[in-house]
Amino acid sequence: MQMDSPLDLILPTLAAFTLPGIAAWYLARRHGLAVFWASLIAGALIMLYGWFTARPTLAPDVASRHTLVIYFVLLPAFMSMVFGAIVGAWQHRAHGAP
């Protein structure tokens, strides 16, 4: 994926901010707090994978691309997923199981 600026990540960032949160919210409304814990576990596994596959000898352009993807796609997706799971679990608790 060729990226010249952070503006090239606008659509993936918007998708990362909305889609995981909506999916986690929907699932947490049905299954409660288990979805919140599953979202934290999924985030931890993705972070561990990134930690093990990180290379200190990356070229500067590749490293900058990785940084852009982490901060503009992966981090918003994780935050959206966790916040959606929190709101869905709260609604599940407030309204009871369907």
CA distance 70 to 43: 13
- Quick check: 39 pLDDT over 90? yes
Residue 98's pLDDT is 54
pTM, two decimals, is 0.81
Average pLDDT estimate for 60-88: 89
The pLDDT of 16-39, averaged and rounded, is: 95
Q: Is the pLDDT of residue 80 over 90?
A: yes
Q: Is the model's pLDDT at 28 over the cut of 90?
A: yes
- The pLDDT assigned to 91 comes to 92
| Tally of CA atoms within 13 A in the half-sphere of 20 that contains its CB | 24
- Long-range residue pairs from 93-96, CB within 8 A, at least 24 positions apart, any chain: 93/32, 93/33
Per-residue confidence (pLDDT) for residue 96, from 0 to 100:
64
